[in-house]
Structure 1
Amino acid sequence: MRLFTAVLPPPAALDEVGRAVDRLRSLPGADDLRWSTPEGWHYTLAFMGEVEDRLLPELHERLSRAAHRSAPFALRAHGGGRFGKRALWIGAAGGLDELRLLAERSDAAARRAGVPMDEHRRYQAHLTIARARFDADLRPYVTALEGFEGEPWEVARLALVRSNLPRGGAPGARPRYETVGEWELGR
């Protein structure tokens, strides 16, 4: 199954992001982007890709330990950015050091459980809100997000999420996400 670890924002934070996205969707060219929906909004920590079922018990155990070693912390949606000319995202502020540490612990837990992880990259806290099918000028959207500040909320759980990719090539089809494990931080 295709898995990743994530921090899942609470409903109030998702509502804030939704209002920001609604404003962006009124900008010129917005119809050319594929906008993600609140069901898919999360801060990815460690992407694992396809994980063999036989590794799941060990992965769950190691992620539980990683969560227990991490204390809850405050986070808020903040600003925005882009990855090249194809992905638009909303960033985070607050406990970024704690978020990076949780990402590193998630990555290490997966490796120790036998999950072959891709090359390690510097962690960038982001919640993807739109993708472009072709190269697009995303700078106006990033500029529009410069003043975006969400209210702080407490990150209290680490989630293991399954990504179910769309089948059949239906236009506009999006991945479906299913939480398959969750652990409280610091407990």
Structure 2
Amino acid sequence: MASPAPRPRLFVAVVPPDAVLADLDRATAALDALPGADRLRRTEAGGRHLTLAFLGPCDPARLDGLAERLARAAHRTAPFPLALRGAGRFGDRVLWARPDGDLTALGRLADRVRAAATRAGLPPDAEHAFRPHLTLARARPGQPVRLAPYTEALARLAAGPWQVTEVRLVRSVPPPGGVPGARPTYGTAGRWPLGG
């Protein structure tokens, strides 16, 4: 008996432009030479974003109300500059790039997006509090990697700057279970321009 297809998950994010993602690729190319790199799963370009609100699996009937509220939240926020400078880690599990620029505006946008989702009846997952970062790699399950040398190697990472001009609702489809090396797939389910 086949297992059911994984349910898509939704989140609202800021997605860097392609030129910034290319900067990031160049800045992180040397990581493959570090010890333990084969135990890291690098984030592909389609999965590189700064999550503002993780909503998880959602009732499709609520998405119209969510779209309307996200449009208002975006319109109330003026475009602002961001860049990626340096790196950090969550323990030895996740390696990430550090946002730099107008972090006050980024936090304000996250607050507005999270409030909009809550009013639409899709409150953000409480376990995924807003912590500004862009995931670069994750340790493979059961294969620990000491990430401190990676953050040191990326101390001078510089990607961008760019002007944040929109928010996106992103659909992430988890990979089917039991497929080694399978990764989630990402697609844009909606996008709204910032206004201010």
Say which of 43, 48, 52 aligns to 2:55: 48
Q: Secondary structure at the match of 2:52?
A: strand
Pairing 1:28-43 to 2, within 5 Å after superposition = 28-43=35-50
Residue 192 of structure 2 corresponds to which residue in structure 1?
A: 183
Is 1:5 the counterpart of 2:41? The answer is no
- The two structures have a TM-score, normalised by structure 2, of 0.90
Residue 15 of structure 1 corresponds to which residue in structure 2?
A: 22
Is 1:93 the counterpart of 2:93? The answer is no
Shift of 1:29: 1.0
Structure 2 Cα separation of the partners of residues 118 and 180 of structure 1: 19
Structure 2 Cα separation of the partners of residues 90 and 8 of structure 1: 13
Structure 1 Cα separation of the partners of residues 160 and 188 of structure 2: 24
Residue 146 of structure 1 corresponds to which residue in structure 2?
A: 155
**Higher mean displacement: 16-25 or 116-125:** 116-125
Q: Secondary structure at the match of 1:123?
A: coil
| Residue identity matched to 2:117 | A
Structure 1 Cα separation of the partners of residues 192 and 115 of structure 2: 16
Runs ≥4 residues deviating over 4 A: none
Identity between Structure 1 and Structure 2 (%): 50
Residue 117 of structure 2 corresponds to which residue in structure 1?
A: 110
Q: How many equivalent pairs are there?
A: 187
Structure 2 Cα separation of the partners of residues 148 and 116 of structure 1: 34
Q: Secondary structure at the match of 1:46?
A: strand
Checking the alignment, whether the CA contact within 8 Å between 2:62 and 2:122 is kept in structure 1 is yes
Task: Give the unaligned 5+ runs of structure 1.
Answer: none
Q: Deviations over 1:117-146 (max 9, x none)?
A: 332765321111111123321100011111
Structure 1 Cα separation of the partners of residues 131 and 156 of structure 2: 19
Q: Deviations over 1:23-72 (max 9, x none)?
A: 11121110111111112111111000111011101000000000000000
Structure 2 Cα separation of the partners of residues 28 and 120 of structure 1: 31
Q: Secondary structure at the match of 1:128?
A: strand
RMSD, matched Cα: 1.4
